[in-house]
Amino acid sequence: MNNKNNNNLDLIVQISDEVIYCSNCELCHTRKNAVPGEGSASARVIFVGEAPGKSEDIQGKPFVGRAGKILEAALLNANISRSQVFITNIVKCRPPGNRRPKRDEIIKCNDYLNKQISVINPKIVCILGATAYSSLLGGKEITLNRGKLININGRDYFLTIHPAATLYRRSLLRVLEEDMMKLSKLIVE
Ligand code: URA
């Protein structure tokens, strides 16, 4: 590993430690574990979901439940391995009952994601679903905009659906797979 990678790793570990002990919002009282995110500190792509669910809360790792299995399969199908990328969420602690994160929780958690993006400085930030789209970019209608690469303030964002959406509409699996294939081409370009 070169110096830059070593330094990135140190900074990512530092951010994770801050998240683990965070008490900025009320979610710290109900979580079992905070879920800072995991993966390569020099990843070419960062995936951003909504918030940890039950399995993630138990394990302290992102996307390890049903939605995670779907994401991982779509990545594998596109020849992207989990260890190559960085996976995290807008909000780092599980909202009780898997409710949507509240606006103030999103705002209080914002800095952690911004720091992760700035340290890793990936080629592309991949937005998974409506909550990440609206929280990070103020966007609406992820289903109409999915599959698009957009540039905002010099950073490239790729938009796709949340993997959990495929649990309710099986036909969306194909959509997620297609988007991951497209993303895999974009990150090597
Ligand atoms: N859904 C998310 O948005 N994030 C996770 O980590 C798991 C499920």
Q: What is the pLDDT of residues 20-37, one digit of tens each?
A: 999 999 999 999 999 999
Q: What is the pLDDT of residues 80-104, one digit of tens each?
A: 999 999 999 999 999 999 999 999 9
Confidence check: pLDDT of 189 > 80: no
Closest CA relative to residue 181, chosen from 165, 160, 164: 160
Structure tokens at 89: 């969420």
Q: What is the pLDDT of residues 127-165, one digit of tens each?
A: 999 999 999 999 999 999 999 999 999 999 999 999 999
The best mutation among 31, 63, 64 to test binding of ligand 1, ranked by most ligand atoms within 8 Å of the C-beta, falls on 63
What range does the domain containing 151 cover?
A: 3-188
Q: Report CA(135)–ligand 1 centroid distance (Å).
A: 15
Q: What is the pLDDT of residue 18?
A: 98
The mean pLDDT of 168-172, rounded to a whole number, is: 96
Structure tokens at 79: 């020849």
CA pair distance 80, 162, nearest whole angstrom: 17
Q: What is the pLDDT of residue 4?
A: 79
Q: What are phi and psi of 49, to 5 degrees?
A: -95, -160
Confidence band of 5 (pLDDT split at 50, 70, 90): confident
Say how many domains are in the chain: 1
Contact, 82 vs 40, CB < 8 A?
no
Quote the pTM value. 0.97
User: Is the C-beta atom of 50 inside 6 A of ligand 1?
Assistant: yes
- CATH number of the domain to which 141 belongs: 3.40.470.10
Pairing verdict, β 124-128 and 45-49: parallel
User: Is the C-beta atom of 52 inside 6 A of ligand 1?
Assistant: yes
